[in-house]
Amino acid sequence: MADYKAPLRDMQFVLHEVFEVGKLWAELPGLAETVDVDTANAILEEAGKVTAGVIAPLNRSGDEEGCSWSAEGVKTPAGFPEAYRTYAEGGWVGVGGAPEFGGMGMPKVIGAQVEEMVNAANLSFGLYPMLTAGACLSLLNHASEELKGKYLPNMYAGTWAGSMCLTEPHAGTDLGIIRTKAEPQADGSYKVSGTKIFITGGEHDLAENIIHLVLAKLPDAPAGSKGISLFLVPKVLVNEDGSLGERNAVSCGSIEHKMGIKASATCVMNFDGATGWIVDAPNKGLAAMFTMMNYERLGVGIQGLATGERSYQSAVEYARERIQSRAPTGPVAKDKAADPIIVHPDVRRMLLTMKALNEGGRAFSSYVAMQLDTAKYSEEPTVRKRAEDLVALLTPVAKAFLTDMGLETTVHGQQVFGGHGFIREWGQEQLVRDCRITQIYEGTNGIQALDLMGRKIVGSGGAFARHFTDEIKAFSASAGAELAEFTGPLNAAVQNLEELTAWVLDRAKANPNEIGAASVEYLQVFGYTAYAYMWALMARAALGKEGQDEFYASKLGTARFYFARLLPRIHSLSASVKAGSESLYLLDAAQF
């Protein structure tokens, strides 16, 4: 397995040459005095050092050892506590946190690059600070000033960790049927009781306290999702002076034995009359939780990108060194018994697919992060509303498409290794196992597709999608003739997407099954079209520089591969959408 190296050159290209984020920051009052290009580059370079030097070396050993459970708690693999301490002391847990509570205050587009680095280095490790950051985001936006002041500084500092406790044994996506209860107490606190499952970082030895955000229902709560409230429940109670007090009535019943991310503790958490405090108002729990959902779902998409990047780095190194057979056109390495496998067409197909999907995904995740930053910091109502609409539209695409492509990419990387890809010591099979969860948690990709098709496309009458397609058409219209090889197929893809959207909107009027039947393939068409836009933007930034620097030549070659070999996938996917829902209902349940 190749040593991980943060792709800093490509990140800087996307941020500064493709999107020119410095201009965006200068226009946003909350960021203008916080970050500039030099600050951003310094942060990325330091993050690259800590992720490659401290966290990446623990990836395989953490997978081999895994987490262990006992009645006293959960133990993470050797080296994890020390690495977490180094990571926390560098301020990385609070990279996007509010400065007034000790965070760095960096925009999401910078946080997204840091997330990619830590997850590429070690996905299991990266989940711990990710859950803490998500909990912090909900508290920052919905908790009382008292709760924020009491908990956020230590959480941003990494001294205390966070978890999000949503799922129950009988209630996954359908949170409206949760059974966890919260009983109000005379002192304003609540007694929370219930069992939660699949809780990432619910218990571990990395921090001295864990702050659980728990969805529960009050005794008089209305039925369904409208009756959900959110509660802050610390593992260890905090005294008035900020010191730690007695252990709360919270315990970890067990940890899951998983296919991958074995160094990440996935816990069954029991709350037995645990003391907690309400976050926001009664019955407003889902709103508080969804504040962080767009950030977290983008974060999971970035996990798919990250595992694909790690797989590519190893695969391309292996392909350059492994000799096997001769090139179809004759010997290339004439001084060796065979040629390196990178000469073979199929190996090149796999490597270029990986490269195109990774670099397209990095640009797309950065683009979505920029919309989050605009929605958060812009003081112009129309600008902010457009960004919010784009975030709503693109979040399910980012989560699902990035992780679908992440799995495809890690599998290609494994395939490049041949038999060695199936062997543990080479590292590729771990990446496949680790990546697989990203398509499942934080809302399965099928649920993301249904959200895109049902809520964001049909629910808005196609208005959200028009924000995106109109932007692409405006880009193409302003592009010069030198970009025609990219804008031509891009325009055709946008036209196809618009026609597909209109088709589903029309069919859904008479048959609601069409929404679910079309959703997965529609999201895929959307994703490939969005990546085409990203590749056209990157080609514009690289064109004319290819003779000066191999980086730009590589970028243009990969862009041409994407348009030639990957974008055409939209045609078969579109045909599947237009096949309709009828064939899905030809069998009775007993006939399956």
Exposure letters 61-79 (e unless 16+ CB within 10 A, then b) = ebbebbbebeeeebbbbeb
What pLDDT was estimated at residue 286? 87
- Is pLDDT above 90 for 130? yes
What pLDDT was estimated at residue 294? 81
Taking only the tens place, the pLDDT of each residue in 227-245 is 999 999 999 999 999 999 9
What pLDDT was estimated at residue 116? 98
- Supply the pTM of this predicted model: 0.97
Quote the DSSP letter at residue 583: G
* Rounded Cα–Cα distance for residues 280 and 277 (Å): 10
Cβ proximity of 348 and 412 under 8 Å: no
For the chain, give the longest Cα–Cα distance.
Answer: 84
Domain membership flag for residue 504: yes
Domain membership flag for residue 485: yes
User: Model confidence at 290, in pLDDT bands (50, 70, 90)?
Assistant: confident
Domain membership flag for residue 470: yes
234 pairs with which residues across the strands? 211
Q: Which domain holds residue 519?
A: 444-581
What pLDDT was estimated at residue 1? 73
Domain membership flag for residue 236: no
User: Model confidence at 87, in pLDDT bands (50, 70, 90)?
Assistant: very high
For residue 52, report the phi and psi dihedrals to the nearest 5 degrees.
-75, -40
Of 546, 544, 554, 536, which Cα lies nearest the Cα of 488? 536
Angle at 568 (CA atoms; ends 566, 571), nearest 5 degrees: 135
Please state, rounded to an integer, the average pLDDT across all residues of the chain: 97
Locus of tokens 């410095």: 22
Of 294, 288, 300, which Cα lies nearest the Cα of 148? 288
Domain membership flag for residue 554: yes
Domain membership flag for residue 491: yes
> How many distinct structural domains can be found in the chain?
1
User: Model confidence at 181, in pLDDT bands (50, 70, 90)?
Assistant: very high
Taking only the tens place, the pLDDT of each residue in 50-78 is 999 999 999 999 999 999 999 999 999 99
269 pairs with which residues across the strands? 196, 252
- Report helix, strand or coil for 97: coil
- Is pLDDT above 90 for 488? yes
Higher pLDDT, 588 or 2: 588
* Rounded Cα–Cα distance for residues 253 and 233 (Å): 17
DSSP for 328-369 reads: TTS-SSTTSSS-BGGGSHHHHHHHHHHHHHHHHHHHHHHHHH
Taking only the tens place, the pLDDT of each residue in 509-546 is 999 999 999 999 999 999 999 999 999 999 999 999 99
What pLDDT was estimated at residue 172? 73
- Is pLDDT above 90 for 178? yes
Integer Rg of the chain from CA: 24
Mean pLDDT across the stretch 180-207? 98
Angle at 92 (CA atoms; ends 90, 97), nearest 5 degrees: 125
Domain membership flag for residue 450: yes
Quote the DSSP letter at residue 323: B
Domain membership flag for residue 342: no
- Is pLDDT above 90 for 176? no
Residues marked as catalytic? 442
Cβ proximity of 17 and 541 under 8 Å: yes
What are the helix (H) ranges across 417-548?
428-436, 445-450, 463-478, 484-508, 513-542
Mean pLDDT across the stretch 150-163? 98
- Is pLDDT above 90 for 293? no
- Is pLDDT above 90 for 6? yes
What pLDDT was estimated at residue 171? 80
